[in-house]
Amino acid sequence: MGSTVNVSDLLNQSYDLTDEMITQFRRDGFIKLKNVLDEATFAYYGEAVTRQVLANNKLEGIAMEDRDTYSKAFIQVGNLWEKCDVVKEFTFSKRLAKIATELMEVESVRLWHDQGLYKEPSGGFTPWHVDQQYWPMLTDRSVTAWIPLQATPLEMGPLEFGAGSQRMNIARELEISDTSEGVIDKAMERYHIPKIMEGYELGEVSFHLGWTLHRAGGNVTNKVRQVHTVIYMDGEQRMIEPRTKYHQADAAAWTPSTGIGEVMADEKNPVLY
């Protein structure tokens, strides 16, 4: 009798990190891991993510030439897990959450939010930036799992990282824009920060810290670059007093019941590992 393999099994199986991988992540602020997921996962869960991204696409019908740099870069739809139970199963993967926990060297992780980032054919570059400038978090323990739902060669706009940039306080106040692209690029040259950009194989997933500089090139293929992301924070992460309009907006969107100084334990922030 053959045994049935459920498509969700892989999402809950352990992916074993080596000590070298954890050391590399601590040094570089990012890591790309091969064979984290597989084709069957993408066929089932990827389809559900795509359905939600298309159903909630606010850029529908707006021509590329009429958009600003940010909205040329991708269609962005957040908290997909609240909209669809299949996506919830994907976002709540213990396999991914365990990797995030071990890379951040913390005891547990909570969900900050998930989002689809779909770069359309002829979609523009994603400017250099750091994510954590938007988030009112006390410590640097936040990490994004960037999960391409197809192999992503250079022409499709994979992520590019500034290795070790999480330790350097560069342009942390700059929102994602043409200005951040130019200013950060110059600073990276000045401080000799290595820029690392490689395509992603099918099943490869990267993890980057909230303070790691990153960007992506444009999509010059005729296929959409489909990416799901899951953003984790330390299970003990606390909220600081919002300092910017982005802090305020993100606190309201992703952790509405958390008060200043409290652990961010809203019902939107379940412990995932």
Ligand X SMILES: O=C(O)CCC(=O)C(=O)O
Q: Which residues bind ligand X (CB under 6 A)?
A: 73-74, 117, 119, 126, 131, 144, 146, 214, 216, 227, 229
Reduce the secondary structure of the chain to three states and give it as a string.
CCCCCCCCHHHHCCCCCCHHHHHHHHHHCEEEECCCCCHHHHHHHHHHHHHHHHHCCCCCCCCHHHCCHHHHHCEEEECHHHCCHHHHHHHCCHHHHHHHHHHHCCCCEEEEEEEEEEECCCCCCEEEECCHHHCCECCCCEEEEEEECCCECHHHCCEEEECCHHHCCCCCCCCCCHHHHHHHHHHHHHCCCCEEECCECCCCEEEEECCCCEEECCCCCCCCEEEEEEEEEECCCEECCCCCHHHHHHHHHHCCCCCCCCECCCCCCCECC
Q: Which is nearer to ligand X, 48 or 130 (CB)?
A: 130
CB of 126 to ligand X, least distance (A): 4
CB of 231 to ligand X, least distance (A): 8
Q: Which is nearer to ligand X, 91 or 229 (CB)?
A: 229
Q: Which is nearer to ligand X, 95 or 214 (CB)?
A: 214
Q: Which is nearer to ligand X, 144 or 255 (CB)?
A: 144
CB of 219 to ligand X, least distance (A): 9
CB of 220 to ligand X, least distance (A): 14
CB of 90 to ligand X, least distance (A): 16
**What does the alpha-carbon distance between residue 112 and residue 85 come to, in Å, rounded to a whole number?**
17
CB of 62 to ligand X, least distance (A): 18
Q: Which is nearer to ligand X, 86 or 209 (CB)?
A: 209
Q: Which is nearer to ligand X, 110 or 119 (CB)?
A: 119
